[in-house]
């Protein structure tokens, strides 16, 4: 077996395991919350196994330094290397700073026009938040503040509500979501995965082979994450000001490391 065939077989095996996990709960229970929670957990596990550790995966809400807050988000991909998390709730959901967010995903059982619009609204609630940016210290001085990266938005499902996701109705539904409501990427495991490359300018969608939906989605997702690089550095003082803590130092006697602030940020 060639290396290409081994890679394909590995992804097919992972895809089949994910499908089995996603489909066993509907067979056992009709409870929508249980089905949704299990689907999110399974997709979350797949993303954690595939993406490098610098990317955190969580369910929760996104907040900004001005007090804005997003809708509840099924899956957030966020910066786990440089940006501190704001809080974690008792049930494990996160409050993630807007600056830390790479991508936002809605998880449903089926991709259709209704759920695409629903996902678009959820994604928009994150994209509309204010994001700060500050200079980045390094050994030789500082880098200029980086512009906040574009936040990816997607929809993850088991199946497609359209017989042909490449047909006119499905294409119009995807391309009809523009601006903050744009859905960039999606995966229907028992259908086809798509990647939107148009940036609202032209009608450009690319699709997976029917039996390689998961591999296509994961590779295209990682490629898009690579292209945006690292998120902008968060202005943590802005969050402190919002909490009225900016004039209250944590400790007047806390030791200062001679290396503090001199680390390089990739």
Q: Which residues are catalytic?
A: 74, 106, 108
CA distance 126 to 247: 29
Q: What is the dihedral of CA 243, 247, 250, 251, to 10 degrees?
A: 180
What sign does the dihedral 182-103-144-243 (CA atoms) show? positive
C-beta of residue 101 within 8 angstroms of C-beta of residue 154: no
> Among candidates 54, 69, 47, 62, which has minimal Cα distance to 185?
47
C-beta of residue 185 within 8 angstroms of C-beta of residue 165: no
> Among candidates 55, 73, 15, 90, which has minimal Cα distance to 226?
55
Concatenating the DSSP letter of every residue in 200-233 gives TSS--EEE--TT-HHHHHHHHHHHHHHHH-SPPP
Q: Give φ, ψ of 153 to 5 degrees.
A: -130, 140
């Amino acid at each position: 077996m060639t290396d290409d065939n081994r890679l394909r077989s590995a992804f097919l095996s992972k895809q089949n395991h994910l499908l089995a996990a996603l489909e066993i709960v509907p067979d056992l229970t009709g409870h929508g919350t249980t089905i949704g929670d299990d689907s999110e957990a399974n997709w979350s596990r797949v993303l954690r196994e595939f993406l490098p550790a610098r990317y955190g995966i969580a369910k929760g809400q996104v907040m900004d330094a001005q007090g804005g807050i997003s809708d509840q988000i099924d899956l957030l991909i966020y910066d786990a290397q440089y940006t501190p998390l704001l809080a974690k709730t008792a049930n494990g959901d996160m409050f993630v700073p807007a600056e830390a967010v790479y991508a936002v995903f809605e998880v449903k059982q089926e991709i259709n026009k209704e759920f695409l619009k629903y996902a678009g609204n959820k994604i928009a609630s994150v994209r509309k938040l204010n994001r700060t940016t500050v200079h980045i210290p390094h050994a030789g001085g500082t880098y200029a503040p980086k512009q906040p990266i574009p936040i990816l938005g997607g929809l993850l499902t088991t199946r497609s509500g359209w017989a042909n996701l490449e047909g006119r109705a499905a294409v119009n539904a995807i391309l009809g979501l523009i601006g903050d409501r744009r859905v960039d990427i999606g995966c229907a495991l028992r259908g086809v995965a798509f990647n939107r490359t148009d940036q609202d300018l032209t009608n450009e969608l690319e699709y997976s082979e029917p039996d390689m939906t998961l591999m296509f989605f994961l590779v295209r997702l990682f490629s898009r994450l690579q292209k945006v690089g690292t998120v902008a550095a968060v202005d943590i003082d802005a969050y402190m000001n919002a909490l009225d803590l900016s004039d209250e130092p944590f400790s007047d006697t806390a030791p200062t490391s001679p290396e503090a602030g001199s680390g390089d940020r990739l």
